């Protein structure tokens, strides 16, 4: 029987961030991952010389430090980094037309001027002025300082002056973003655009996305000199950096190891049992990086009070369709943007099924992802594919294959707005569905994560009523998205760490000065 200080279930970005930081703090940590590849929704995979991102493809705030991005703070804390390619342009295929835009405020105002006129530009500028103090408030407390115990009075207390300075605006961050824009923005295109950005961040439109999330985005995307980042080697390079940090500090990652049950003895989580029957004891904690629904399935009946079990009723975001392609890149149009957002119909709303498609062609930035003269493409419908269309299907059936082709068509059509002859260029074609998400990512109904509208509920913290059991990932605060899950992992690790080691980490990454 193996034993460790902490057992982490799942190697998503949240779980790896938590485990790597715990190892840095000196804990004996083992991460158990059901899949053969680490990284959860952010893992990478290869087919015939093409290296694909399975999930996230748009990154910012990672190529410089200090940064407000929690993932950058985790990488700094474990002394790991990777090579970043920076760029600033992305493509938009909207009902108003197709155009390229850049991060930063000025060029978007040029787009607004052409599409909507000077009144729209004035509204956008007004919104920027309203968001400026909220953006400063959103980054007043670094996630690296947060923990869920009394030690927070010391670690967060180091930022008391900053908190006091921004206190009037911090209180405004807890509500929905729509409460802010309703008093500022009337132009329908700007409101649709903001709904789209909110949906990409949280899986919900502006009336369900917290003002804090959008304030953080404004702080990052609309600052002077802003760039977007892409990791050389793809999303798998981020996973590799976290795994390196974990292992260099003495932690372990075990792949192909499916956790069947969390062991509970004397009202305390004491370890886990794997599918093969192996038992691993945890001296201090078991931490689940699984979703709230999947975590509850791992626990013995009645191990948690009914109030916690009710979290099984948490509303869920829809799932994804994926189209991974390896294509011939010869004679493509010059200056092709790496990323594109396609919206088919604003009237249907950004959350409507198959209405929004994202396209990533990362080999434009990192040619190592594809053989010479080739490109990798990842097109996907971001959290707007209903699981109900797939529930109960046999993945080996003809019905499933036909459904895959039918539901993938919207992604092909989106791609044809960017590369008209894309279908004839394909060397590799892979279609992923909600059942793919459910199978390989061990995700409840293939869901993107909890759909908890801002102002109507809160993402819970990492602690639970069961002693020794903590949670991290997109079912916990601050919620969905790569920066958010990295923050959840960091906060969970901080909560277990001695305050003196937590303070030393903050000093090492430059957030507080040495005495």
Cα–Cα distance for residue pair 99/253, rounded to 1 Å: 44
500 within some domain: yes
Model pLDDT, residue 1: 64
Structure tokens at 8: 């982490």
In a domain, 322, yes or no: no
pLDDT, averaged across the chain: 93
pLDDT-derived band at 515 (thresholds 50, 70, 90) equals very low
Residue 293 lies in a domain: yes
Rounded to an integer, what distance in angstroms lies between the CA atom of residue 367 and that of residue 375?
8
Kindly state the tokens that stand for 404.
Answer: 């895959």
- Indicate whether 167 belongs to any domain: no
What are 32's strand-pairing partners? 9, 254
Q: How far is CA 250 from the centre of its chain?
A: 26
Residue with tokens 């430090």: 65
- Say if residue 372 is exposed, middle or buried (CB neighbours under 10 Å; 0-12, 13-18, 19+): exposed
* 336-372 per-position pLDDT tens digit: 999 999 999 999 999 999 999 999 999 999 999 999 9
Query: Is residue 487 within 8 Å of residue 13, measured between CB atoms?
Result: no
- Give the C-alpha separation, 1 to 75, whole Å: 32
Per the model's pLDDT, the better-predicted residue between 441 and 71 turns out to be 71
Is 428 within the bounds of a domain?
Answer: no
State yes or no: pLDDT of 224 exceeds 80: no
Residue 30 counted as domain residue? yes
- Within a domain: 170: no
**Residues 6+ away with beta carbon under 8 Å from 145:** 155, 156, 158, 159, 494, 506, 511
Q: Given the DSSP bridges, would you call strands 2-9 and 279-288 parallel, antiparallel or unpaired?
A: parallel
Distance CA 179, CA 456 (A): 13
Which residue range forms the structural domain that includes residue 266?
A: 2-43+67-81+234-314+451-508
pLDDT for position 217? 83
- pLDDT computed for residue 165 by the predictor: 87
Choice among 129-138, 227-236, 387-396 with the minimum mean pLDDT: 129-138
The answer to whether residue 204 sits within a structural domain is no
Q: Are 490 and 144 in contact (CB under 8 A)?
A: yes
| C-alpha triplet 365, 486, 170: angle, nearest 5° | 110
CA 321 centroid distance within chain: 17
**What is the Cα gyration radius of the chain?**
22
Tens of pLDDT, residues 198-217: 998 888 899 999 998 888 88
What does the pLDDT read at residue 514?
55
Kindly list the distances between the CA atom of residue 70 and the CA atoms of 101, 269, 450, in Å, as whole numbers in the listed order: 26, 28, 20
Cβ distance 80 to 102 under 8 Å? no
What's the domain count of the chain? 1
**Half-sphere exposure (Cβ direction) of 277: Cα atoms closer than 13 Å:** 0
Give me 363's structure tokens: 């080999």
Q: Is residue 175 scored above 70 in pLDDT? A: yes
Q: What is the mean pLDDT of residues 408-429?
A: 97
pLDDT in tens, 4-45: 999 999 999 999 999 999 999 999 999 999 999 999 999 999
Looking up residue 306, the CATH number of its domain turns out to be 3.50.50.60
The pLDDT-based confidence of 513 (bands split at 50, 70, 90) is low
Q: Which pLDDT score, from 0 to 100, does residue 348 have?
A: 96
With residue 44 as reference, give the H or E element that holds it.
strand 44-47
């Amino acid at each position: 029987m193996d034993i460790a200080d902490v057992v982490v279930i799942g190697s998503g970005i949240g779980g790896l961030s938590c485990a790597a930081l715990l190892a840095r703090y000196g804990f004996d940590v083992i991460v158990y991952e059901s899949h053969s590849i680490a990284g959860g929704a952010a893992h990478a995979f290869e087919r015939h010389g093409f290296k694909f991102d399975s999930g996230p493809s748009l990154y910012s705030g990672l190529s410089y430090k200090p940064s407000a991005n929690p993932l950058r703070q985790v990488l700094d804390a474990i002394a790991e980094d990777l090579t970043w390619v920076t760029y600033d342009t992305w493509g938009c295929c909207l009902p108003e037309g197709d155009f390229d835009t850049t991060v930063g405020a000025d060029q978007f105002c040029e787009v607004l001027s052409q599409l909507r006129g000077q009144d729209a530009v004035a509204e956008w500028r007004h919104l920027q002025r309203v968001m400026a103090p909220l953006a400063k408030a959103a980054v007043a407390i670094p996630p690296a300082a947060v923990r869920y115990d009394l030690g927070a009075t010391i670690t967060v207390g180091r930022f008391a002056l900053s908190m006091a300075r921004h206190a009037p605006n911090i209180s405004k961050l807890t509500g929905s973003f729509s409460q802010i824009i309703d008093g500022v923005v009337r132009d329908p295109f700007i409101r649709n655009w903001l709904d789209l950005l909110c949906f990409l961040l949280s899986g919900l439109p502006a009336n369900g996305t917290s003002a804090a999330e959008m304030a953080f985005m404004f702080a990052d995307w609309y600052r002077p000199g802003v760039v977007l980042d892409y990791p050389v080697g793809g999303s798998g390079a981020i996973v590799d950096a976290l795994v390196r940090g974990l292992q260099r500090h003495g932690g372990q990652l075990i792949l192909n190891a499916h956790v069947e049950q969390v062991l509970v003895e004397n009202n305390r989580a004491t370890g886990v049992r794997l599918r093969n029957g192996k038992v691993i004891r945890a001296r201090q904690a078991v931490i689940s990086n699984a979703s709230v629904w999947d975590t509850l399935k791992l626990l013995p009946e009645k191990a948690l009070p009914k109030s916690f079990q009710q979290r099984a009723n948490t509303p869920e975001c829809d799932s994804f369709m994926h189209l991974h392609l390896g294509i011939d890149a010869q004679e493509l149009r010059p200056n092709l943007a790496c990323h594109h957002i396609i919206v088919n119909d604003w009237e249907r709303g950004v959350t409507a099924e198959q209405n929004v498609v994202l396209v990533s062609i990362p080999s434009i930035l990192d040619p190592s992802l594809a053989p010479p003269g080739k490109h990798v493409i990842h097109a996907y419908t971001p959290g707007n594919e209903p699981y109900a269309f797939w529930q109960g299907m046999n993945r080996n059936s003809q019905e499933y294959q036909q459904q895959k082709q039918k539901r993938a068509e919207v992604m092909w059509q989106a791609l044809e707005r960017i590369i008209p002859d894309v279908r004839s260029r394909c060397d590799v074609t892979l279609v992923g569905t909600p059942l793919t998400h459910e199978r390989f990512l061990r995700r409840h109904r293939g869901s993107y994560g909890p759909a908890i509208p801002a102002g109507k509920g809160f993402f819970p913290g990492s602690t639970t009523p069961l002693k020794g059991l903590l949670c991290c990932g997109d079912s916990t605060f601050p919620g969905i998205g790569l920066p958010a899950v990295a923050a959840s992992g960091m906060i969970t690790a901080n909560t277990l760490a001695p305050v003196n080691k937590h303070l030393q980490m903050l000093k090492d990454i430059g957030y507080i000065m040495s005495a």
